Amino acid sequence: MASLPYIVGNWKMNGTRASLSEARAIDRGAARLPKVQVAIAPPATLLHRTREAVELIGIGGQDCHAKDSGAFTGDISAAMLKDAGADFTIVGHSERRTLHAETDADVRAKAEAALGAGLAVILCVGETEGERDAGNAESVVGGQLEGSCPHSDGAVDKLTVAYEPVWAIGTGRVPSVDDVAAMHKAIRAKLVSIYGEAGAGVRILYGGSVKAENASELLSIRDVGGALVGGASLTAESFLAIVGAAAALEDN
Ligand code: PGA
């Protein structure tokens, strides 16, 4: 694929002002590795300060509400993320789908709201262990894409999909190379069926226990256009090791 590998850190509910030094270090490190596109999604409380602390890397939210404003205590709209300096937002992460009971329709509405506010979107999909064991991984992920892919004008140009098997998130377990390859191929085919030829250009990230040690192998798989990284994105050292692995592959 022609586009640069995209390595995104999802800080989840981690990070206070003390973490801004990590964001700065990630930014400096990314400047030395221009063949990789780097971004982080800090908690919303840090978006504005992170925007001011970094120069190069992308900054994003981890979720947004589908509405622009209103009586939704505790929620944050896409326009607010944009105003705080976000370039993109993650939607449909499995922790949101599971812990906040978000449906595919909810995720689609959030993705469309984000696009409407001028944000790019990283849309997460992935099967549970039970679904994989039952042989249903590809049909589950295909159904999630059908239900949650945004359909607003130009959506496909600002969309990234992240395949994150739920059982691989934070567990240290990763699917086999063959399983990742088969799933990314199936996701590519589904994106083409949803968006037509434009679906061939959507970047598909792999996420779930990506570390420096497995990054090269995972990023070498066809149709893996980058990684969504949780735990290993919390320090500049471990995150930049993954970015470095992506850069090394570009040099080869
Ligand atoms: P992990 O999380 O890298 O800690 O497994 C990935 C994610 O949830 O995006």
pLDDT in tens, 9-30: 999 999 999 999 999 999 999 9
- Does residue 40 carry a pLDDT above 80? yes
| Distances, alpha carbon 212 to alpha carbons 74, 101, 167, 231, 236, in Å | 35, 32, 19, 12, 12
- Does residue 252 carry a pLDDT above 80? no
Quick one: residue 20, left, alpha or beta (phi over 0 = left, psi -120 to 50 = alpha)?
alpha
Question: What per-residue confidence (pLDDT) applies to 1?
Answer: 43
pTM to 2 decimal places = 0.97
H or E element: which one contains 231? none
Using the mean position of ligand 1's atoms as its centre, give its distance from the Cα of residue 97 in Å: 14
How do beta strands 58-61 and 37-41 pair? Answer: parallel
| Closest ligand 1 atom number to CA of residue 207 | 6
| Residue that has been written with the tokens 């993109």 in this structure | 88
pLDDT in tens, 73-95: 999 999 999 999 999 999 999 99
* Residue with CA closest to ligand 1 atom 6: 230
| Residue that has been written with the tokens 């990684």 in this structure | 227
- Does residue 107 carry a pLDDT above 50? yes
Distance CA 109, CA 96 (A): 14
H or E element: which one contains 76? none
| Closest ligand 1 atom number to CA of residue 208 | 5
Which amino acid would we find at residue 179?
D
Identify the band that residue 112 occupies on the pLDDT scale cut at 50, 70 and 90: very high
Quick one: residue 15, left, alpha or beta (phi over 0 = left, psi -120 to 50 = alpha)?
left
Question: What per-residue confidence (pLDDT) applies to 130?
Answer: 97
Question: What per-residue confidence (pLDDT) applies to 2?
Answer: 57
Catalytic residue check, 22 = no
The distance from CA 4 to its chain's CA centroid, rounded to whole angstroms, is 15
